[in-house]
Structure 1
Amino acid sequence: MRGMPALALAALLALAGAAPAAAPAGFQALEPGLELGHFDGPPGVAGDGKIVVVRIDPARFELRLLNASAPGHGGLLTARAWAERAGASAAINASMYQEDFRTSVSLMRTREHVNQRRVSRDRTVLAFDPLERGLPAVRMIDRDCEDLDGALRGYGAAVQSIRMVSCQRKNVWAPSARRTSAAAVGVDGKGRVLFIHARSPWPVHELVNALLALPLDLRQAMYVEGGPEAQLFVRGGGRELERVGAFEAAPAADNRDAWPVPNVIAAVRRR
């Protein structure tokens, strides 16, 4: 989050249509390859106390990086609006951005457009859009475990951000008293992509511990946004869900507006 006014804002949870019974592992199938899970987070926190996870099968969905800085894309949009424009089934923040409200703080590129060339000190890069057959459709690169340049050669798209779960499945977020809403992207043991949103303001270290304890088989994860800009949108099977974040100073305040953001990662069904 960059440069927004500190006004009271809480998370919006809007679920249209009747929700089917949850699967034993906590997920509901919205449509083939797209699942939605609601999980209880650590107790004693403001807000709904839920961690929401969208699980995406990359064999059925491709990830796309959508940037306001790309030619023809125009201004900032909410995650919902980005998804609707792209015909996507899900969208989440694509990392934090600078005060120009366009440029990522770290490496961010596709085959056609470079939003940010600079590789920052952040330790994780999400790579997708493989350039060669046989490569995983999506992978998360931990710079402490492998060479970034070599790993990225096979991929057209890359998004760098702050590491939460290392390649060794360790919580590497330093403990802190700071509390914030959070959006994150992870991968599980089957290579599925996890879009993660927590509107309740936990310390991030505690949130990561909770994620590792959930039945997600979480292998790696990175933080993509915090505070009121953190958002998640998913639609499928006649239902849709939009989540937005809260201000640290006033997590219980009521606001039903998602904030426009410049960059999102979207999941689009393969044809």
Structure 2
Amino acid sequence: MSAFLLRAVFTCLVLCAPVASLHAEEWRLLAPGLELREFLIPDQVGDLEGRQSGMAVLRIDSDRFDVALGSALGTGRMRSMQEWARHSGFVAVINAGMFRADDRMRSTGYMRDAAVMINSFIHPNYGAFLAFQPRDPSLPALRWVDRKSDPDWQAVLADYDGIIQNYRLISRERENLWEPSDRRHSGAAIAMDREGRLLFIHCRARLSLHEFAQALIDLPLDLIGAMYVEGGADAAMYVDVDGFVGRFVGEYRSDFFQGSNKNFWPAPNVLGIRPK
């Protein structure tokens, strides 16, 4: 067998291997109602060099944690994830959505809470909403809204002070909504499982959106929906609870930059959790 053919076979094996079959830690209890699990998956940009990176999944019980926005419009400036956690008293924080090119403090999708309207425009191409901070305490603390599946989505949004809107990665029927692509980068996502738990997800490995979505389907997470909230070096997650500190930063979108990113970049809008 030629060296070229051997390389092609190896490439196929790496790219086609199901993510769930690769190494994963068990769920680690960080605090009551807060668990972390890390999966080791191939970085599709560097797989032939044997590089692998992690996908960190933080699973959150909404009965034990409140969800809130951190907003540069509301507080006056952008902050790193670590700074947002300290400023707002969050024990975990992740990007709330992508920012506009012409106004970095505003999100590309609809976003608000009781204190500030960050973007009043409902993006026609963004199909996922997370609703939090219910106006009636008898309502669920969190609602996942799939605009394509939920005919009452507008009524649901009206019942909550906190709303973020982003691209869907998967449908409620667990379909991968993205076509294969050669454009790969780190990513961050927010999701919900069938038990109503919120998940913050950070993937250091550089994957296309199709590969990212498929990983979320293949992993044992039992999701009903997932939204893409940021990519590249801007994608970040931070956890600081009961003596555990986790720093999860994204990688550059290409190899144009020499070396790897190791720092949090300032974020204009974040979603964080606090113990109730």
1:226 paired to 2:228: no
Q: CA deviation at 1:237?
A: 2.5
TM-score (norm 1): 0.86
Q: CA deviation at 1:112?
A: 1.9
Percent identical pairs in the alignment equals 37
Q: CA deviation at 1:75?
A: 0.9
SS of equivalent residue, structure 1 residue 208:
helix
Contiguous gaps of at least 5 residues in structure 2: 1-23
Letter in 2 for 1:145: S
Do the aligned residues in 2 keep the contact of 1:25 with 1:215 (CA within 8 Å)? no
SS of equivalent residue, structure 1 residue 49:
strand
- 1:133 is aligned to 137
Aligned residues: 245
TM-score (norm 2): 0.84
Select the structure with the greater relative contact order (CA < 8 A; seq sep ≥ 6).
Answer: 1
SS of equivalent residue, structure 1 residue 228:
helix
- 1:242 is aligned to 247
Q: CA deviation at 1:259?
A: 0.2
Letter in 1 for 2:266: P
Contiguous gaps of at least 5 residues in structure 1: 1-23
Q: CA deviation at 1:174?
A: 2.5
Q: Which residue, 147, 151, 154 being the options, matches 1:149?
A: 154
Question: Which is richer in helix?
Answer: 2
- 2:271 is aligned to 265
List aligned pairs for 1:99-248, cutoff 5 A: 99=101, 100-121=103-124, 122-146=126-150, 147-248=152-253
Letter in 1 for 2:171: S
Provide closer, same or farther for how the CA distance between residues 255 and 144 of structure 1 changes in structure 2, counting only shifts above 3 A. closer
Separation in 1, partners of 2:251, 2:70: 24
Separation in 1, partners of 2:141, 2:274: 13
Letter in 2 for 1:192: R
Separation in 1, partners of 2:71, 2:79: 10
- 1:86 is aligned to 88
Do the aligned residues in 2 keep the contact of 1:108 with 1:159 (CA within 8 Å)? yes
Q: CA deviation at 1:48?
A: 3.6
Do the aligned residues in 1 keep the contact of 2:110 with 2:165 (CA within 8 Å)? yes
Letter in 1 for 2:56: V
- 1:95 is aligned to 97
- 1:254 is aligned to 260
Do the aligned residues in 2 keep the contact of 1:185 with 1:194 (CA within 8 Å)? yes
Separation in 2, partners of 1:238, 1:67: 26
> Which aligned runs of 4 or more in structure 1 are off by greater than 4 angstroms?
42-45
